[in-house]
Amino acid sequence: MSLSDLGPIEQARLSSFLEDSDLTVPLNEEQQAREYEEGLPLSRRVWNESKKLWQIVGPAIFTRVSSYSMFIITQAFAGHLGDVEFAALSIGLNVILGFDIGLMLGMASALETLCGQAFGAKNYYMLGVYMQRSWIVLFLSGIVLLPMFLFASPLLKLLGQPTNVAELSGVVALYLIPLHFCFTLQFPLQRFLQSQLKNKMIAWMSLAVFVVHVVLSWLFVYKLKYGLVATVLILNFSWWLLVLILLVYIFCGGCPLTWAGFSMEAFSGLWEFLKLSAASGVMLCLEHWYYRILIVMTGNLKNAEIEVDALSICMSINGWEMMIPLAFFVGTGVRVANELGAGNGKAAKFATIVSVVTSTIIGLFFWLIIMIFHNEIAMIFSTSKPVLEEVSKLTFLLAFTVLLNSIQPILSGVAVGSGWQSYVAYINIGCYYLVGLPLGYMMGWGFHNGVKGIWAGMMFGGTTVQTVMLAILTIRCEWEKEAEKASKNIMKWSKMEQEQ
């Protein structure tokens, strides 16, 4: 299909849509552009692919850093309320909400496969239907996960957390329930927009909400001193504000080709959608939960309050920097899915290589920063001398975790873009939970190395092995066959829609 096959109104809408999405290649010139691209020198091809990648990754980094910084700001204000308050909020955000985010984020990432490949195949209408299905699936999952928030205190005590920390964490968990349901809308919204390259809009909206969050936190927590509950309520408000802005943008004409209003089609094909969402959820949540378990295990050590505070600071710094690799995870998933959906396996392979190399270089830069400033990086979270000293001892492990995490999420992004979620889920179970956790337990308690032993065992035993296995899976991939498979999947879903 070319632009000449469309009427004047459709041509105008499509041209406006493509311009807003930062796409530079018209539909009737795609084949010629692809052949021309393959004939260019390597340096020029890398430059062109980098521009396409950074159109997604740049705004995605900005968006994710802004969003995650709201958690960091909340923790930073709580850190100056006291060690117990900081530990309670850290467990509430990093453990309870961390488990929740892992599953929700993973289930929503099914849209990166479906919307990305549908967008690459120019089946624009289905993007809106897929998002609505994701809302339904995630909302039902949110109801199933509610007991984790309602019974957080007894659950944390059962896991060996100190009583005073567990009780206060339970209070925090109850006030996090609105945020829990906010994720059921927000994660699909972001993936819907990212799949059609509307990243700049998300970035500006995230910045505006971040500014609001900082001002409200400073006013109500620092100046008016409303305490721990106020920090959590402000966090709820900020995330829901972002969701409302995104909804207004979509409903008011921001996505003319991909949003045609609510449709009953969203309730059809839910079983197939649920299976892919569940595989995506298991794949990503096993990764996301892994280092949250490290915090829970640390809570069983002697002097647990200081250890948990120090480790929570390291995990917050790691999570902050992790927004960059996760942006590459999104960018790689979108680029691979778009190219596979368009039937171009070679371009998908090249996009993978460029993304992995770029992210690794950035990871080396942050590894160096952490090694140089290992004594100073914790000061924004705490003024407690024992906590600062403990963080300094852990920065070596933090630096190498950051370096490993600059590679592993990008390979996971390839898996999402290609639809390999179920395979990667098995890899994650084996590497993280059959190798990494037992090794961490043995080094922490068996060899009496404490939190450093637990972390080292989980990193070198789990994350390293998983990264190597994902690299092997990616290297052995037959990209042209993956492109054919993507085309068949798109035809299969389209046929199912027609039949229903």
Instruction: Please report the pLDDT score of residue 212 as a whole number.
Output: 93
pLDDT(24) > 60: no
Portion of the chain with pLDDT greater than 90, in percent:
21
Quote the distance between the C-alpha of residue 27 and its chain's center. Answer: 31
Highest mean pLDDT among 269-273, 385-389, 411-415, 471-475: 471-475
In the predicted structure, residue 19 carries a pLDDT above the cut 50: no
With beta carbons less than 8 A apart as the criterion, state whether 298 and 307 touch: yes
Each residue's pLDDT tens digit, 448-499: 787 888 888 888 888 898 889 989 988 888 888 888 877 776 666 555 555 5
Structure tokens at 103: 């599953």
Which pLDDT tens digit goes with each residue over 403-437?
988 998 888 878 876 777 777 778 888 888 888 88
What size, in residues, is the chain?
500
Q: What single DSSP character describes residue 301?
A: S
The SS3 call for residue 82 is coil
For residues 91 and 329, give the distance between their C-alpha atoms in angstroms, rounded to a whole number. Answer: 26
* C-alpha span between 109 and 94 (Å, rounded): 20
Q: Could you give the CA distance from residue 338 to residue 485 in angstroms, rounded to a whole number?
A: 13
Confidence (pLDDT) at 304: 65
Helices 345-372 and 30-38 cross at an angle (nearest 10°) of 60
More confidently predicted of 63 and 178: 178
The pTM score is 0.71
Residue 493: both structure tokens together: 């879903």
Region of poorest pLDDT, from 11-20, 139-148, 315-324, 359-368: 11-20
pLDDT tens-place string over residues 192-213: 998 887 888 888 898 999 999 9
Task: Show the CA angle centred on residue 291, arms to residues 290 and 296, nearest 5°.
Answer: 100
d(CA 375, CA 388): 8
pLDDT confidence of residue 233:
92
Q: Which amino acid is at 13?
A: R
Regarding predicted confidence, which is higher, 209 or 226? Answer: 209
> Considering just the CA atoms, what is the radius of gyration of the chain in Å?
23
Residue 2: is its pLDDT beyond 80?
Answer: no
Give residue 6's pLDDT: 45
